[in-house]
Chain A
């Protein structure tokens, strides 16, 4: 069935370093890939997304890359700050008229000052 694998499960970096989180998906019909940030006790917050007609998208310190052939996509955070510490989830879905997101297992990012 549909599946999204996310790695690593935990990631610790020094403030100012870069962080990279990787996901692979199984459903070749998936064409929409959002990333969410979830802080303790809160709901997931959409931070960036990418559709399959582009290979890369940037928004300030955050970027996402997509390799449709290999069926994997990655989140890149540059110049990390302590407030970036949270759990990050990737997800995938078929971007038609709606429908479910399939989430990865999450990456707990810790940015040490």
Chain B
């Protein structure tokens, strides 16, 4: 499968714990995006990388959230001191330089108890 992959697919954690998600983009896609989707809503943009550079961050990305893409390939999204409000589907997408359609992975569903 050459699509975007995300790991884990599901994560259940207790409030206050840290969690980390991984995204592997489509090979040779230099742009990588993170979105958050809550039940019944459209995805909301969190952050975006071009190669290893983080170019844009949403106000939704509080200081408890950090994302990295150290070698311009896979990316990680870490949430520290999780809160119940962090429960959501975390989606990753990637796009080539041109054209820049965004292709999404299956998502990581986070449940904070």
Question: Which residues of A come within 8 Å of B, CB atoms?
Answer: 4, 6, 32, 34, 36, 41-46, 49, 89, 91, 95, 97-106
The 8 Å CB contact of B106, one of A6, A36, A42, A99, is: A42
Taking the closest CB of chain B, its distance from the CB of A21, in whole angstroms, is 13
Q: Is B58 an interface residue (CB 8 A)?
A: yes
Q: How many residues of B are in contact with the other chain, CB < 8 A?
A: 25
Answer whether A43 and B42 are a contact pair too, CB < 8 Å, given A99-B48, A100-B58. no
Answer whether A99 and B104 are a contact pair too, CB < 8 Å, given A43-B91, A44-B43. no
Residues from chain A with Cβ under 8 Å of B25 in the complex: none
Q: Is B40 an interface residue (CB 8 A)?
A: yes
Q: Once the chains bind, are B44 and A36 in contact (CB under 8 Å)?
A: no
Q: Is B31 an interface residue (CB 8 A)?
A: yes
Q: Once the chains bind, are B43 and A101 in contact (CB under 8 Å)?
A: yes
The 8 Å CB contact of B101, one of A4, A6, A34, is: A34
Residues from chain B with Cβ under 8 Å of A103 in the complex: 42-44
In the complex, the chain A residue whose C-beta lies closest to that of B109 is A41
The 8 Å CB contact of B102, one of A4, A6, A101, is: A101
Q: Is B87 an interface residue (CB 8 A)?
A: no
The 8 Å CB contact of B41, one of A36, A44, A100, A106, is: A106
Q: Is B100 an interface residue (CB 8 A)?
A: yes
Residues from chain A with Cβ under 8 Å of B50 in the complex: 97-98
